[in-house]
Amino acid sequence: MSKAGLIALLGLLLALMPFLGIPLAVKTPLTVLFGIIILVLGFLVREERRWLLRALRGDHQTDAYSESGLAAQAGAQGYGKETPQV
């Protein structure tokens, strides 16, 4: 089952939970558990969507770290070099 299908199913179960006649001692932990599962699945769906959109735009190639021109300029200005001791 897909993530979207699980989210819909758990949402339906949460909506019907008050009417199913489940004892309160079981209903409360189930409600919390279903809510946490929906939260995690929603986050995963969001990250998948962001990754897919970035891949379609071609932005996924810029994820790796690369030293910028500013770092090279800082080295040229003398930052990071040893200072002569007097």
Q: What is the pLDDT of residue 55?
A: 86
**79 three-state secondary structure:** coil
The tens digit of pLDDT for each residue in 15-58 reads 999 999 999 999 999 999 999 999 999 999 999 999 998 888 88
Rounded to 10 degrees, what is the CA torsion of 8, 10, 11, 12? 90
Q: Find the radius of gyration of the CA atoms of the chain.
A: 26
Q: What's the rounded Cα separation, in Å, for the pair 81 and 78?
A: 6
Which residue ranges make up each domain of the chain? 3-58
pTM: 0.60
* Tokens describing residue 82: 């040893």
Q: Could you tell me if 14 and 34 are in contact, meaning their C-beta atoms sit under 8 angstroms apart?
A: yes
- Look at residue 75 and tell me whether its pLDDT is greater than 60: no
